[in-house]
Structure 1
Amino acid sequence: MEIRSLEVSHNQFMKKMKAEDPDFFKKLGEGQQPSFFVLSCCDSRTCPSTITGMPLGEMFTHRNIANQVTEEDDSFRASLHYALDVLGVNYIIILGHTNCGGILAASSGVQHESLDGWLKHVKATLDEYDKSNEAPTPAELEEHNVRQQIINVKNHPVYQRKGEGVPVIGLLFHLDSGELEWIDPDDNNL
């Protein structure tokens, strides 16, 4: 894909939005009142608004490798605080996906100087998976990761202070089918 395609695509987007609602961009510029705070992987195949079909302004989104929640991540802490305290979102969504490179790298022990600091969080999550039966599949680890991040959000100091009562929902996007699976955090029968 060439850089020019970005401009062409943007112009088509602008034209479409103005045709649907001539005041769309004016309204967009007046502020945001998103219903959802979404923590998603930064994988280029997992854009939350695109996957869910939600319009601009409905999803306040934070992205990182393997959609991790850690207390040490100042960027996530600030995003969560802003979503809960300033924007007053109604829901928090943890959006994982299949074929996640971060999960694969952490579970296979890949070493990379630039990633090791971050992947230690992913590895810690995967190490908590109950391996009593047999080696887990990548799909089981990806689902476990979503469940664990739900727990991590609920235990996060910002959520404890500002978000009590805001539902935390887990979703797993299946890249090979487009299916969006709802993850029950209490169902640990993997």
Structure 2
Amino acid sequence: MKTLENLLQRNRNWAASVHADDPDFFAKLENQQMPQYLWIGCSDSRVPANQITGLAPGEVFVHRNVANVVAETDFNLLAVLQYAVDVLKVRHIIVCGHYGCGGVRAALENFRHGMIDNWLSGIRALRRVHREELDALPPEAASDRLCELNVLAQASHVARTTIVEDAWERGQEIFVHSWIYRLDNGIILPLRPAIKAPLNNLD
């Protein structure tokens, strides 16, 4: 197990390596951030946004929570979303879940887990809507399918926020993506084409 001092040393090593490769990197980073992407992902430590997309610090604005939930009552998420859209002017909002998500698996189970059940209530509702499809699958496949359905639902929630709808109304170009990450091979899979206009205007 790595000690805190070990982490600090690793940080110093990283900073020295970055500076050696690009002496101006931190000076440029200090003065501005201009990410093109907002990443809404799961808190799972195996799914770090920058690393799995190969992006450097300053290139992606990140919000993470258990099971990549987008809830209209989550002011933390909404504050991040508004800042990303209105101030940073990101063009791409990526909702990225992952197969084997513990939060989604918990939503499939029929016993209480504590306070987390309140957070997962929307995924449980999604499970009820798709019960027939999910019940026809083996447990692991059902969990993976619910992971996909959850990503699709949360991306739709993003598109239906007044923040994104207002941005589209004023002509701002925003694409909302639905992605899922495979832990077994490190590959990200798009689940559907990006949403680029209000959902009620789409066929």
TM-score by length of 2: 0.85
Q: Distance in 2 between matches of 1:130 and 1:163?
A: 34
1:137 aligns to what SS in structure 2? helix
Asked if the contact 1:150–1:185 (Cα under 8 Å) also holds between the matched residues in 2, the reply is no
- Equivalent residue number for residue 15 of structure 1: 16
Question: Aligned-pair distance for 1:113?
Answer: 2.4
Match of 1:162 in 2: 167
**1:154-173 alpha-carbon deviations (Å, 9 max, x no partner):** 11122111256411111111
SS of the equivalent of 1:168 reads: strand
Q: Which residue of 2 aligns with 1:58?
A: 59
Amino acid at match of 2:136: E
Q: In 2 relative to 1, CA 87–163 (structure 1 residues): closer, same or farther, beyond 3 Å?
A: farther
Confirm whether residue 151 of structure 1 aligns to residue 159 of structure 2: no
Q: Structure 1 pair 163/15, CA: closer, same or farther in 2 (3 Å)? A: farther
SS at match of 2:81: helix
The structure-2 alpha-carbon separation of the partners of 1:90 and 1:157, relative to structure 1 and needing over 3 Å to count, comes to: same
Q: Kindly tell me: are residues 16 and 77 of structure 1, through their superposed partners in 2, closer, same or farther at Cα, counting changes over 3 Å?
A: same
Equivalent residue for 1:119? 120
How far apart, CA to CA, are the structure 2 residues paired with 1:127 and 1:59? 34
Encode CA deviations 1:27-51: one digit per residue, 9 max, x unaligned: 1110211000110001111110011
CA deviations on 1:66-111 (whole Å, 9 max, x unpaired) are: 0011111111111111000000001000110111010000111341
Map 1:37-76; keep pairs closer than 5 Å: 37-76=38-77
Structure richer in helix, relative to its length: 2
Deviation at 1:152, TM superposition (A): 1.0
Deviates more, 1:143-152 or 1:84-93: 143-152
Q: How does 1:174-189 map to 2 (within 5 A)?
A: 174-184=182-192
The two structures, once aligned, show a CA RMSD in angstroms of: 1.8
Taking the aligned partners of 1:28 and 1:37, their CA distance within structure 2 comes to 17
Taking structure 1 as the reference length, the TM-score comes to: 0.91
Q: Which runs of 5+ in 2 are unaligned?
A: 195-203
The Cα of 1:116 is off from its aligned counterpart by 2.0
| Aligned 8 A contact 1:126 1:145 in 2 | no
Q: Percent identity?
A: 34
Taking the aligned partners of 2:132 and 2:93, their CA distance within structure 1 comes to 29
- SS at 1:63 equivalent: strand
Partner SS, residue 175 of structure 1: coil
Matched-pair contact (CA < 8 Å) for 2:106–2:113: no
Q: Which amino acid aligns with 1:86?
A: V
**Letter in structure 2 aligned against 1:28:** L
Contact 1:81–1:162, Cα closer than 8 Å, also in 2:
no
What whole-Å deviation, never above 9, does each CA across 1:98-157 have from its counterpart, x for those lacking one?
Answer: 110100001113412221220112212333336247146211111111111111111112
